[in-house]
Amino acid sequence: MKLPDLASLAWRQLRERRLRTALTVLAVAVGVVVIIALSSQVEGVKVGIVSSLERLGPNTIVVFPTLRGSRMPVTDADIARLRGLEGVSKVIPLLMLKVRVSGFEDPVNVIAASSRDLADLLGELRIAEGGVYLDVPAPQVLVGHDLAFDTSTGEQVVRVGQPLVAMLGGRSLMLTAVGVLDTYGTSTAVSPDTSMFVPVEYVKQFIRGAGYNLVMVKAAAVDDVDQVSELLSYTLGGRARIVPVKQVASAVSSTIAQISLLLVGIAATSFIAAGLGTLNIMMVSVLERVREIGVLKALGMKDRHVMGLYILQGFMVGGLGSAAGVVIGVALSYLIPLATGGSMAMPPVPGRGVGKLGGFSALPYTPVINPLYVLTAVLISVAVTLVASVYPSWRASRLNPVEALRYE
């Protein structure tokens, strides 16, 4: 019997029990959907983080000061010493706080920094409206895009020149919005879209003994990163953690790859149900068609053809389930960010007002569908259904035609 004839007969048998076949196909599709939907979210976060790190540059070193009580261990004197180290081209000190601001329900990330350092801090300085504040102790603020615009409606809620009341150091301060940043997307050390930037000299007026809870150091060359990191460790001792950006990028890629594999492994367990469902439908199909199989074998159909008939049915179920799973999984991959607001909860950056006062921060991302995971999901689904079809097809091939014709 030729393969096209076997395929036609297998398809006809599946169509005769459409509801049962559809439910089995959906059981197979579930595993594919879960793998594609979850892996695309993790891959999207990974791509966003790595791209933001690349904007900072491979010669960047992040210094995370260790908070000791209420004191900031990195002061202006320390910054001056760091700037004098060999191989250091630039030092960007930051003071990051969680501040209550009028018009916003949740506390806002406020980053005190020099306007001269913003371009290096953000990779590039993109202003959507207005301009940058001056490096003077003045109540000016540069507002992130997602704070200035309602992300659900697109309506602008903060405009240039608009006053904003902020609670800082136990005082109510009247800040004036001088500019609105363009969209930056995913970030790590700072999140421009959901932050406000103010002159560091202005903030230090209201926080006694204020130091810095995040410092970005630029090495003169990529080859100098290791040497500069050692000098920073020696200079600051145990008061800070020194993390080169290239090390962060490597660690992020490795960690997220492990998370992706874990999610795929967990999702793959759903194929157990798919395999059992396929085994069930194949066994029922064999029992329902005992007399039909007997007639076919009496007419000359060989055992291998009978076995191939049910193997083909398993392959068809796996193929249909994979196709449905890919379509639904891709659609769900882009629906999940809509339900979560296009962001994923991530741990806050260590430091005062962030690690101490703030909770998890929202990390915006765009789903990325990795063809490797799609192919993996498809191959697993087809393999599971084929394996589940082996025993029923073997049982069908072993039926005695005479006994099968007497079967009622």
The least confident of 294-308, 328-342, 393-407 is 393-407
**Structural domains in the chain (count):** 2
Is position 244 within any domain? no
The pLDDT value given to residue 364: 63
Sequence-distant (6+) residues with CB within 8 A of 256 are 42, 43, 45, 46, 49
**Domain end (from 212, 235, 263):** 212
Average pLDDT score over residue span 280-292: 73
Is position 43 within any domain? yes
Is the same domain home to 95 and 45? no
Is the same domain home to 186 and 304? no
228-255 confidence digits (pLDDT tens): 989 998 888 878 888 888 777 777 777 7
SS3 at position 404: helix
Is position 249 within any domain? no
Average pLDDT score over residue span 354-362: 40
Is position 189 within any domain? yes
Is position 172 within any domain? yes
% of the chain residues with pLDDT over 70? 85
What residues make up the domain containing 208? 75-212
Is the same domain home to 44 and 130? no
Phi-psi category of residue 87: left, alpha or beta, with phi > 0 → left and psi -120 to 50 → alpha: left
pLDDT band at 345 (very low <50, low <70, confident <90, very high): low
> Strand ranges (DSSP E) for 35-162?
60-65, 88-101, 108-112, 127-130, 140-143
Q: How many CB atoms lie within 10 A of CB 360?
A: 10
Closest CA relative to residue 217, chosen from 351, 115, 83, 124:
83
The pLDDT value given to residue 324: 93
146-159 confidence digits (pLDDT tens): 899 987 788 899 99
Is the same domain home to 175 and 258? no
Q: Report whether pLDDT(355) > 50.
A: no
Q: Report whether pLDDT(33) > 70.
A: yes
What secondary structure letter does DSSP report for 238? G
> Strand ranges (DSSP E) for 246-341?
none
Q: Report whether pLDDT(59) > 60.
A: yes
Choose the most confident range, by mean pLDDT, from 36-40, 276-280, 299-303, 322-326: 322-326
101-138 confidence digits (pLDDT tens): 988 888 898 999 999 988 888 878 889 999 999 888 88
- How far apart CA 61 and CA 53 sit, in angstroms, is 11
Sequence-distant (6+) residues with CB within 8 A of 71 are 209, 211
Which is higher by pLDDT, 255 or 334?
334
The pLDDT value given to residue 140: 93
Is the same domain home to 92 and 33? no
Is the same domain home to 308 and 340? yes
Is the same domain home to 142 and 260? no
Taking the complete model, does pTM exceed 0.95, yes or no?
Answer: no
- How far apart CA 146 and CA 96 sit, in angstroms, is 18
Which is higher by pLDDT, 277 or 346?
277
**Domain end (from 184, 212, 240):** 212
Is the same domain home to 19 and 80? no
Is position 148 within any domain? yes
**One-letter amino acid identity for 209?**
G
177-235 confidence digits (pLDDT tens): 999 999 886 555 678 888 999 998 888 888 766 678 889 899 888 888 889 989 998 88
Which is higher by pLDDT, 281 or 158?
158
The pLDDT value given to residue 264: 74
Average pLDDT over the chain, rounded to whole? 80
Q: With helix as H, strand as E and coil as C, how does 159-223 read?
A: CCCCEEEEEECCEEEEEEEEEEECCCCCCCCCCHHHEEEECHHHHCCCCCCCCECEEEEEECCHH
**Domain end (from 158, 189, 212):** 212
pLDDT band at 323 (very low <50, low <70, confident <90, very high): very high
Is the same domain home to 198 and 268? no
Contact 31, 385 (CB under 8 A): no
Buried b (16+ CB within 10 A) or exposed e, 242-266: bbbbbebbeebeeebeeebeebbee
Tokens representing residue 272 in the block = 């157990």
The pLDDT value given to residue 347: 46
Is the same domain home to 258 and 398? yes
Is position 63 within any domain? no
Q: Report whether pLDDT(387) > 80.
A: yes
Angle at 334 between CA 332 and CA 335, to 5 degrees: 60
SS3 at position 64: strand
Is position 243 within any domain? no
> With 0-12 CB in 10 A as exposed, 13-18 as middle and 19+ as buried, what is 162?
middle
Is the same domain home to 109 and 154? yes
Query: Do strands 195-198 and 127-130 pair parallel, antiparallel, or not at all (unpaired)?
Result: unpaired
Is the same domain home to 289 and 343? yes
